[in-house]
A and B are shown apart, each in its own frame.
Chain A
Amino acid sequence: QSALTQPASVSGSPGQSVTISCTGTSSDVGGYNYVSWYQQHPGKAPKLMIYDVSKRPSGVSNRFSGSKSGNTASLTISGLQAEDEADYYCSSYPSSSTLIWVFGGGTKLTVL
């Protein structure tokens, strides 16, 4: 099972918006509405930021939003803040046929 494809890095200035893409196939991202996004700061465990493509867990800022078109999901962070600088990973819930979770390779967000 191949990892989902994410850009290695993105950057933006404080106050701007950035979007991180996550491309899979019709067997994972495109086939189900179970895409999730995680934020990871250095030395810390990942933190769930988005689930079910576009839903925010309790306590996550509404500056974080998710969407999907075809086999590509996206995470948009608006009103960038210094604390948003981190690694971001997408993931797809396993299909009923494979039962295998897949993650993206990760994207390093730099706040300039």
Chain B
Amino acid sequence: QVQLQESGPGLVKPSETLSLTCTVSGVSISSSYWSWIRQPPGKGLEWVGDIYHSGTTNYNPSLKSRVTISVDTSKNQFSLNLSSVTAADTAVYYCATEGTYAGAFDIWGQGTMVTVSS
């Protein structure tokens, strides 16, 4: 079965770059779009952006100037870089994808908490 696993530092200093990786197992990453979604503590879900295996990306306009999502097909992974972070970027970051059901996120990683603090 398809599984997603986020990894990366749990603590990032203000003004630095947040970097996370999502490892995909059970399916080739060359089969779908792959998204990052975040959730600040006590708040709702926010779509950050997505990437296709070809490298085509789409980003949330509110984050577009600071976000880069990339894919490594050889490792079956995709990554998120968010630059110039502030406390407002503190959140649980999930990777997710449309699996069986197109037009919806039916496969999610467990999420990883990232805190921005000095």
Residues of A whose CB lies within 8 Å of any CB of B are 1, 3, 34, 36, 38, 45-48, 51-52, 55, 57-58, 89, 91, 93-94, 99-106
Contact = CB atoms under 8 A, between A and B. Distances in A.
Given A1-B61, A45-B111, A94-B58, A51 B44 contact: no
Contacts, number: 65
Interface residues of B, number: 23
B17 to A, nearest CB: 23
A48 B100 CA distance: 11
A52 B104 CA distance: 8
Given A36-B103, A45-B94, A102 B108 contact: no
A48 B61 contact: no
Contacts of A106: 43-45
Given A45-B110, A94-B58, A101-B35, A36 B105 contact: yes
